[in-house]
Amino acid sequence: MKRTVIAICLRDMQVGGVESVLIQTLAAMLARNDVDIRVITYTNISVPQYRDWFAQHPEIKLTALYPCRFLGTQMPHFFLWRIIKHVARDIYRWYKYITMSSRRFDDVDVFIDYYNFSFAREFKKFRGRKITWWHSSIDALYAQRRMRYMHGYDKLVMLTRDAATELRERYPEYADQIVQIYNPIDITRARDLAAQGKFIRGDYFVCVARLTGDKDIETVLRGFDMFWQNAGRPNIKMAFVGDGNLSDEYKKIAHSLPASRQFEFVGLSKNPFGYMAHARANILSSYSEGLPTVLIEAAATHTLNIASDCRNGPREILMDGRAGLLFVAGDATDLALRMMDVWTRRVDTKKMIDTATKNLNRFDATTITEQIMKVIK
């Protein structure tokens, strides 16, 4: 039987949800005997945990299209050098693109642009079927006018049913090319990692997220502070697992609040599952999402979720509030009320956790991989 050669394309691999989902997708694909996998990036993979993972799986062939170390993804802080490096990098990449042979990847049957049409330029030179995944909010898809690239792709994968339905209605000419597939999770692996992972002693809420503006960490800080004061200043902490460009700013806000001693910034963790598994609840406060995998991961560790009711993702995962609590995005007061609901047991959290657990098969890695293969073939 001929094996299908699949090339998954991602510009770079930083620590984040998309990369975590990709690793789990690759792991599930490796269990099959009908595919050969390649991963194509712009530059060489530099994040140690991903570099180590690929080193353990040499059967996946890695290709860097623009592998100039000096012109990598990291930019210097000095403004003038940033400009020079940006220009030099763009010139280098254009040269490499122009001189790239259109037959370089003729052995590939299917190309998967794994992040938001980011390989639209390169795909003009690649032969074979072309599929892209949209990992951001549907609002970002409209704002960035990315559908103008759709004519160069055979399929567009959206992460939620609502997003796929809305997009088909807005672009009926592409209705047959738009499909919906959830992000996968290896449930057994998540639980194993939770058993091995670090956690915080005592009672705490947790927020596992990048400390960036789109994750709206300030709402979590102020919401927890309101809850803590209204609950009589109990001995409970608010832990943040992650890092980002606004880390220092969020720490300053935390230090300015009455509950300052209750906040704990853990930083990046290769294994955040232990922190989730031992928390009273996991909190997601994003303004927008594609499909927040962290909610699925928390549910896999039998942890309650409290999530902002932003478009496309949280409500679908939490089954309209039956499998977790929803609050108005950006509303710290509403978040504080939901935390109080959990603290005072005004809601049946056990029933919500049970509902979430029973419906995890929607996101099972093996099931999702079968759906991906149907789209590919």
Percent of the chain with pLDDT over 90: 64
Superfamily of domain 193-361: Glycogen Phosphorylase B; (3.40.50.2000)
Percent of the chain with pLDDT over 70: 94
Give mean pLDDT, residues 166-178: 93
Q: Are 111 and 9 in contact (CB under 8 A)?
A: yes
pLDDT at 95 over 80: no
Distance (Å) of CA 301 to CA 16, 193, 296: 19, 9, 9
Return d(Cα 297, Cα 84) in angstroms, integer: 41
pLDDT at 73 over 60: no
291-301, pLDDT tens digit by residue? 898 999 999 99
Q: What is the pLDDT of residue 1?
A: 67
- The token pair at 326 is 């929803």
Give mean pLDDT, residues 158-164: 91
Q: What is the pLDDT of residue 94?
A: 67
266-323, pLDDT tens digit by residue? 999 989 999 999 999 999 999 888 889 899 999 999 999 999 999 888 999 999 999 9
Please indicate whether residue 81 or residue 222 has the higher confidence score (pLDDT): 222
Instruction: Name the nearest CA neighbour of 268 among 183, 226, 208, 223.
Output: 208
Mean pLDDT score of the chain, rounded to an integer?
A: 90
CATH topology agreement for domains 4-65+100-180 and 193-361:
yes
In Å, how far from its chain's centre is CA 246?
18
Give mean pLDDT, residues 179-198: 92
Q: What is the pLDDT of residue 70?
A: 52
Q: Are 167 and 141 in contact (CB under 8 A)?
A: yes
Give mean pLDDT, residues 80-104: 71
Q: What is the pLDDT of residue 174?
A: 94
- The token pair at 92 is 């280098």
pLDDT at 72 over 80: no
pLDDT at 16 over 90: no
Q: What is the pLDDT of residue 138?
A: 82
The class that CATH gives domain 4-65+100-180 is: alpha beta
Q: What is the pLDDT of residue 258?
A: 97
pLDDT at 156 over 70: yes
Alpha helices in the chain (DSSP H): 17-30, 48-55, 79-98, 120-123, 138-143, 161-170, 187-196, 217-230, 247-256, 273-277, 293-300, 314-317, 332-343, 349-358, 365-376
- The token pair at 358 is 């029973």
Q: What is the pLDDT of residue 37?
A: 95
pLDDT interval class at 112 (50, 70, 90)? very high
43-69, pLDDT tens digit by residue? 888 888 899 999 999 999 999 888 765
pTM score of the predicted model: 0.82
What are the boundaries of each domain within the chain? 4-65+100-180, 193-361
